[in-house]
Structure 1
Amino acid sequence: MRVLKSIFRFVLILSLIGLLVGVGATVGLYQYFAPQLPDVETLRDIKFQTPLTVLSADGKLIAEFGEKKRTPIIYNQIPEQFVQALQAAEDSRFFEHFGIDLIGLSRAVFQLVSTGRIQSGGSTITMQVAKNFFLSRERTFERKFSEILLAIQIEQSLSKEEIFELYANKIYLGHRSYGIQAAANVYYGKNIDELSLAQLAMIAGLPKAPSTFNPITNPERATERRDWILGRMHSLSFINEQELQTALMAPVTASYHTTEIELYAPYIAEMVRSELYAQHGEDLYTDGFTVYTTLDSKMQSAANNAVRDGLINYVKRHGYRGPEKQHTIQDLSHDAITALLQNESTFAKLEPAIILEVNKDSATAQRKNGEIITLPWEGLSWAKPFKTVNYSGPMPKKADDAVQTGDLVRIFNTGEYWELSQIPRVQGTLISMTPQTGAIRSLVGGFSFTYNKFNRAIQAHRQPGSNLKPFIYAAAMENGFTPASIINDAPIVLQDKGLDGNWRPENSSNEFSGPTRLRVGLYKSRNLVSIRLLRSLGIDKGIEYLSRFGFDPEKLPANLSLALGSADVTPMELITGYAGLANGGYKISPYFIERINNQSGETIFTSNTAKVCSDCSANSEEEPGLKTNIAPRIMDERTNFLLYSIMQDVIRRGTGTRANVLNRSDLAGKTGTTNEQKDAWFTGFNNKLVTTTWVGYDQPLPMGRSEYGGSAALPIWIDFMKVALADTPESPLPQPAGIVQVRIDPNTGLRASPQQSNAIFEYFKAEEIPRQGMGGNSSNHGQSTEEIF
């Protein structure tokens, strides 16, 4: 007995010594590691690396920029069954332990002692948070001890719900998805709260090894992991037997889902990215900004369709250039033909296809997805062979005049049938803007951003041609001319230092009308009238006036060719100028970012560009300390109204009469065509919306004899405005005080006598009413045409 007592006392003393040594070692280790540990309080302000999100004004997704797919959510948004599934998979006693699971940790220590290496690690969710946010992934004792100490500190600083939320948003779950919400989107195309129990268990199985247990790349291993987690959930009484069996029988439905773009607006998306990158650099892709643009989704979709259809119609007017490639397919299987199409991209809904068989009045083709479709005669009959922009071959009489077996072609679904098509070589752009604010409502920078990323809306410097004339006419009317002023539309030979040799400008029709009222000169786009106006006004004064509207004076030619629009402008510069005509005569600046929210949803930027505010003072405030930024007036409001009235006639009876199909009386606009039809424009507006369209080759080339602003650009404008203005009331520019309407002689521009039968009404500034005529051919102000010019 005495011996046993001695042995017991010896063992007890050794145990106490061991305990003291252990405690001492632990204290020593803590004293060594604690000062090196990071401050866990920083977890309260953690910012997850999330992509830049670009939205339309009405919240439609336009683009995401950033490698990591992550959508942080709060704990209350996480389904309870997912919390339970993750407990079953990773840490069943999460809500009971103090950051360390002693049972799990003991198991890990035993494995280390028995095998000589770390195996399971015994990590809790809290310890994984510590590792994921603060530590490296090296498997060392030092890192493990730091992980334990950090886990204890985290549990003391944060609630269990906060810890779980951090873990659920941080973890990598494969296919570039970080966090459970992103994983639900990637694997199932749904939000986490829309998933079934089986799907939740599948995602809960990913943190252990995202590649090994991936349901897309390794569905068998993923199913084994899912079923094990479901069994654990049942054994932990999280689910009942029926729920278990139903989930175990569920098929694997995971597939790769990309972020669904809701609104196609890649040119604006790139403009946003470029502007913000200049401010934030690479942090832009991880700081989680959400950018609300000024785009209207309905208008943007209409713009996409209008530009695409307009350019496709140009192709159809000029003929078919033939297949993109020719394949020998006689001995190829369906799958082999599908393989030939896999490297061919779709551009602006023009799909690649291979012609399989040609009949008398139809052809069959195989799409990229393997579907076999028929091209009826309606979809082939347009395809006369292209020769030049001015000439084409005869219309096809049978299908094999257009296509041959093995042709790689483009097809387009019109909504009624499949049509043979072709990627246009000509390009186009459309910009639409709210003239009172400068907010861009839609923007298309070319036929297809995928095909060519050059943004013609802001990067292409082109000659506007007659699209610039309204500004010359406005300058003239602010310097003594009226809509009834008579200008001679007659041949002229000019010697100008800024021009090479003698210049003999002509009208596009090669005809001359003689003495012409200013109104008629603009709505019929008479070149000689514009030139004489600018010569009378003075080139310097003309350039100064144009610069008020945002045109760069350095890019405006200091010679009379300016009257014909020989300047270099971008479509954005042109529409900015036209906004001043559409809003009553105020200078605005275009913008496309309405506001920016940070990762927490707080607004960190709101646009405060100058806006038209005709009935408020400069000292008014929308919010305390925030002054209304009021656009300055740059044009007399009466001149503005007179010009608007004349530009309405461009649509009513001038070069833009096609727009009468819209059946609106509030629209005004101007066509524009440059020499040899290298550029075609139409810009039109009412008081609420201004839109410009341009068509041309990137390298200025003739588009064809019949391609004018009214035939190439105006149809695109009409197709867009038909949608953009649908169900909206007419919005003409209001008539300001000081404008009167007077009957005039259409031939002389003078006030008509009461009995004159051919008199017409004209608007004037009150102080510029013309004198009453005598029935002769005198011009306005009592001067003859020869005396004026």
Structure 2
Amino acid sequence: MKYLFALLVALFLGAAFMLARFYNDIRFEVDKIVHYESPMTTQILDRKGRLVANLFEHEFRFYSPFEEIPPRIIEALAAVEDTLFFEHGGINLDAISRAMIKNIKSGRYTEGGSTITQQLIKNVALSREKSLERKLKEALLAIRLETVLSKEEILERYLNHTYFGHGYYGIKAAARGYFKKDMDRLSLKEVAILVGLPRAPSFYDPTKNLEFSLGRANNILQRMHSLGWITDEELDLSIGEVPIVYNETLTQNIAPYVVDEVLKELRYIEDLKSGGYTIRLNIDLDYQEIAKEALTFGYEQIKARRKKDDSDTLNGAIVVLENRTGKILAMVGGVDYRKSTFNRATQSKRQPGSSFKPFIYQTALDLGYATNSPLADIARTYEYTANDEAKVWQPKNYGNTFSGIVPLKEALVKSLNLATINLVEEVGFERIYRKSLTYGFNNIPKNLSIALGSFGVSPLEMSRAYTLFSNYGTMMSPRLIESITDYRGKTLSFDLESKVITPPEQSFLMIDVMREAVNKGTGRRARVNGIEIAGKTGSTNENVDAWFCGFTPTIQTVIWYGRDDNTPIGHNETGGVAAAPAFSYFFEKLLKIEPGIKREFDVPRNVHRIIKDGELYYYTDTSKPKEEAPSMKEENLIF
């Protein structure tokens, strides 16, 4: 007896020692669960709250506090995984006994009898190895965890951490992914499908094996009924239900050029893809879709005219802003993101050509010129030296014509190069150069070629500059992001930036001139019935670049086409031919979804009218009508 007692004591002490060693090895693992932090998916939404894209690194998850989880989900989970969850202290001895008997009978490890608490520990803190040692560690941690966390906290962590198949981590992500519903809108059958997934997520994935998924869900419903947790009527109603299941990609990125720009702008946020942020954009997905269609429309038209052209380097970009705020409503950086991720709307630097001319003319108007001021559209020859070599520059109008003396308004409506160059000389090159820097243009060459837009600018930069006109003299910085909110609800809003350049009445003079350029000038193909449009075409030498920059009373759109290798688009592919029709396409479509959009430009106070030679001119106290002819200078000037 003495030896037996000693043996029992030794076994007890050995078991206690082993348990103590196990617990010492794993006691810090409890902290992983107590201080649980999981990577969470960031969502990008448009201005109406519609999903633009999901951002995540390894695990696609939306976190839900316990208060958000409907009781039906808790009941269904307990019914299938752990009926006595709210009664045990972490382990269920009856379930473990039943599992041991089954394992002994089968001769192998087939069932574990784990509680929800044990499953949480296994998933977060321990490996999934099937061994007695791991089960002992799991049981010890479960008992300890139940003394630290409440049942609700354990359930919250379990339902947010568990994998539900198809790349979905957590019940909230699974509900939105499979059924496009928030949890409180799930049917009883949909709840049963979801809670049945963790046992074998791939096998019961309803997008792959709907029949097996429905069968397991029905078993869960029967279990809930047998426990008295659902009524006969609820059971009968749910058994035959076959929910609509969606099989979609996790990112759901429907505006990739926009998303890339968001990632670029917010690259300073280290946990952007795992912090569970909500990023609200100024983008409107309806505008975005129409903009994409418009860009493709113009692209296809160019390709159709260039039937013999086998080059695939043709591309384009479009930026749509709200005039008053500079909010970016749509941005497409290329005709096919799958073929090229390069964002031409923000990254390409292309010559704006004649679309730069309005800035020269606005400078002249602000210095006292009037829209009827006479300009000399005559040929000039400029001699200059480059690298110790004498050179000659002889700029020409499109079509090699010249018009003699023309009103300032006509010079811009017809996009006359020679008249514009002569205007730069009259105003003074240094004045034009300095003012161009004020407008936000950089890397401008210090010579007269800037009159023809001979420097690089992106469509987004051009969009910013054109708000000088569309926003009546106040330039707005384009703003893509409206706000960003973290998962705790703290919101950071992005302020709009503005810069007053000229009074509204001065800007309106240029609006009127560009309105005429669309009605009668080079931008005629941009016209849309029933709405006033102002804008300017832009073409560079040999039609390497084709632009149309225009706006209605509320919306501004800049469109560019060109080849990525900087070769010519093709003969006659000017801004008016290549880009203006895409602008028209965009606004014709937009009017169908926004019929109440403002149709006519406002005329500011202090703007007056005059009829001269049958033509209507607007003028201000600064830009009064002129009668005198321009002074003529010698034919040969040093460039």
The interval holding the TM-score normalised by the smaller chain is 0.7 to 0.9
Structure 1 counterpart of 2:367 = 479
Structure 2 counterpart of 1:462 = 350
For 1:235 and 1:18, locate their aligned partners in 2 and report how far apart those are by CA, in whole Å. 47
Aligned 8 A contact 1:303 1:430 in 2: yes
- Structure exhibiting the larger radius of gyration computed from Cα positions: 1
Aligned 8 A contact 1:680 1:712 in 2: yes
When residues 220 and 784 of structure 1 are mapped into structure 2, their CA distance, relative to the original with a 3 A threshold, is closer
For residue 84 of structure 1, what is the amino acid of its counterpart? E
For 2:44 and 2:23, locate their aligned partners in 1 and report how far apart those are by CA, in whole Å. 49
Structure 1 counterpart of 2:265 = 275
Aligned 8 A contact 1:489 1:514 in 2: yes
How far residue 527 of structure 1 moved from its aligned partner, in angstroms, is 0.5
Aligned 8 A contact 2:531 2:552 in 1: no
Structure 1 counterpart of 2:162 = 171
How far residue 683 of structure 1 moved from its aligned partner, in angstroms, is 0.8
Aligned 8 A contact 2:463 2:558 in 1: yes
How far residue 439 of structure 1 moved from its aligned partner, in angstroms, is 1.4
Q: TM-score, normalised by structure 1?
A: 0.71
1:210 aligns with 2:201: yes
For 2:158 and 2:122, locate their aligned partners in 1 and report how far apart those are by CA, in whole Å. 10
For residue 727 of structure 1, what is the amino acid of its counterpart? G
Of 378, 384, 392, which residue of structure 2 is paired with 1:502?
392
How far residue 268 of structure 1 moved from its aligned partner, in angstroms, is 0.4
Structure 1 counterpart of 2:441 = 551
Aligned 8 A contact 2:126 2:138 in 1: yes
For 1:230 and 1:68, locate their aligned partners in 2 and report how far apart those are by CA, in whole Å. 29
When residues 211 and 660 of structure 1 are mapped into structure 2, their CA distance, relative to the original with a 3 A threshold, is closer
For residue 482 of structure 1, what is the amino acid of its counterpart? A
Map 1:396-407 → 2, pairs under 5 A: none
Structure 2 counterpart of 1:351 = none
When residues 287 and 510 of structure 1 are mapped into structure 2, their CA distance, relative to the original with a 3 A threshold, is same
Map 1:259-408 → 2, pairs under 5 A: 261=252, 264-276=254-266, 278-281=267-270, 283-318=271-306, 386-388=307-309
For 1:246 and 1:506, locate their aligned partners in 2 and report how far apart those are by CA, in whole Å. 80
When residues 439 and 198 of structure 1 are mapped into structure 2, their CA distance, relative to the original with a 3 A threshold, is closer
For 1:91 and 1:609, locate their aligned partners in 2 and report how far apart those are by CA, in whole Å. 54
For 2:107 and 2:392, locate their aligned partners in 1 and report how far apart those are by CA, in whole Å. 97
Of 29, 32, 36, which residue of structure 1 is paired with 2:28?
36
Map 1:220-231 → 2, pairs under 5 A: 225-226=216-217, 228-231=219-222
For 2:599 and 2:573, locate their aligned partners in 1 and report how far apart those are by CA, in whole Å. 30
Deviation string, structure 1 residues 229-269 (Cα, Å, up to 9, x no partner): 444334433345676577666679767343595x8422101
Deviation string, structure 1 residues 295-342 (Cα, Å, up to 9, x no partner): 122222221221122222233334xxxxxxxxxxxxxxxxxxxxxxxx
How far residue 18 of structure 1 moved from its aligned partner, in angstroms, is 8.6
Aligned 8 A contact 1:431 1:575 in 2: yes
User: Which moves more between the two structures, 580-589 or 188-197?
Assistant: 188-197
Aligned 8 A contact 1:582 1:733 in 2: no
For 1:741 and 1:500, locate their aligned partners in 2 and report how far apart those are by CA, in whole Å. 48
Aligned 8 A contact 1:669 1:683 in 2: yes
Structure 2 counterpart of 1:606 = 493
Of 598, 621, 624, which residue of structure 2 is paired with 1:729?
598
Structure 1 counterpart of 2:429 = 539
How far residue 30 of structure 1 moved from its aligned partner, in angstroms, is 8.5
For 1:681 and 1:40, locate their aligned partners in 2 and report how far apart those are by CA, in whole Å. 57
Corresponding residue SS for 2:560? strand
Structure 1 counterpart of 2:407 = 517
For 2:43 and 2:194, locate their aligned partners in 1 and report how far apart those are by CA, in whole Å. 24
Corresponding residue SS for 1:459? coil
When residues 242 and 260 of structure 1 are mapped into structure 2, their CA distance, relative to the original with a 3 A threshold, is farther
1:156 aligns with 2:147: yes
For residue 606 of structure 1, what is the amino acid of its counterpart? S
Of 73, 91, 113, which residue of structure 2 is paired with 1:100?
91
For 1:237 and 1:692, locate their aligned partners in 2 and report how far apart those are by CA, in whole Å. 65
Of 526, 537, 542, which residue of structure 2 is paired with 1:676?
542
Q: TM-score, normalised by structure 2?
A: 0.87
Deviation string, structure 1 residues 527-571 (Cα, Å, up to 9, x no partner): 00111112233333322211112211x2x2222111111111111
Structure 1 counterpart of 2:42 = 52
When residues 155 and 741 of structure 1 are mapped into structure 2, their CA distance, relative to the original with a 3 A threshold, is same
Deviation string, structure 1 residues 82-108 (Cα, Å, up to 9, x no partner): 333322322110111122223234456
Aligned 8 A contact 1:63 1:269 in 2: yes
1:779 aligns with 2:591: no
1:658 aligns with 2:525: yes
For 2:495 and 2:419, locate their aligned partners in 1 and report how far apart those are by CA, in whole Å. 41
Corresponding residue SS for 2:496? coil
Of 549, 556, 580, which residue of structure 2 is paired with 1:714?
580
Q: How many residues align?
A: 631
Q: RMSD over aligned Cα, in angstroms? A: 3.7
How far residue 189 of structure 1 moved from its aligned partner, in angstroms, is 5.0
Aligned 8 A contact 1:507 1:528 in 2: yes
When residues 173 and 588 of structure 1 are mapped into structure 2, their CA distance, relative to the original with a 3 A threshold, is same
When residues 654 and 260 of structure 1 are mapped into structure 2, their CA distance, relative to the original with a 3 A threshold, is same
Aligned 8 A contact 1:742 1:761 in 2: yes
For residue 343 of structure 2, what is the amino acid of its counterpart? N
Of 682, 692, 701, which residue of structure 1 is paired with 2:567?
701
Of 619, 623, 628, which residue of structure 2 is paired with 1:764?
619
For 1:539 and 1:742, locate their aligned partners in 2 and report how far apart those are by CA, in whole Å. 30
For 1:213 and 1:51, locate their aligned partners in 2 and report how far apart those are by CA, in whole Å. 24
When residues 769 and 784 of structure 1 are mapped into structure 2, their CA distance, relative to the original with a 3 A threshold, is farther
For 1:250 and 1:633, locate their aligned partners in 2 and report how far apart those are by CA, in whole Å. 62
Corresponding residue SS for 1:39? helix
How far residue 271 of structure 1 moved from its aligned partner, in angstroms, is 1.0
For residue 282 of structure 2, what is the amino acid of its counterpart? T
The percent of aligned pairs where both chains have the same amino acid is 35
Aligned 8 A contact 1:311 1:424 in 2: no
Corresponding residue SS for 1:453? coil
For residue 689 of structure 1, what is the amino acid of its counterpart? I
Aligned 8 A contact 2:354 2:539 in 1: yes
For residue 604 of structure 2, what is the amino acid of its counterpart? Q
For residue 676 of structure 1, what is the amino acid of its counterpart? E
Corresponding residue SS for 2:340? coil
For residue 571 of structure 1, what is the amino acid of its counterpart? P
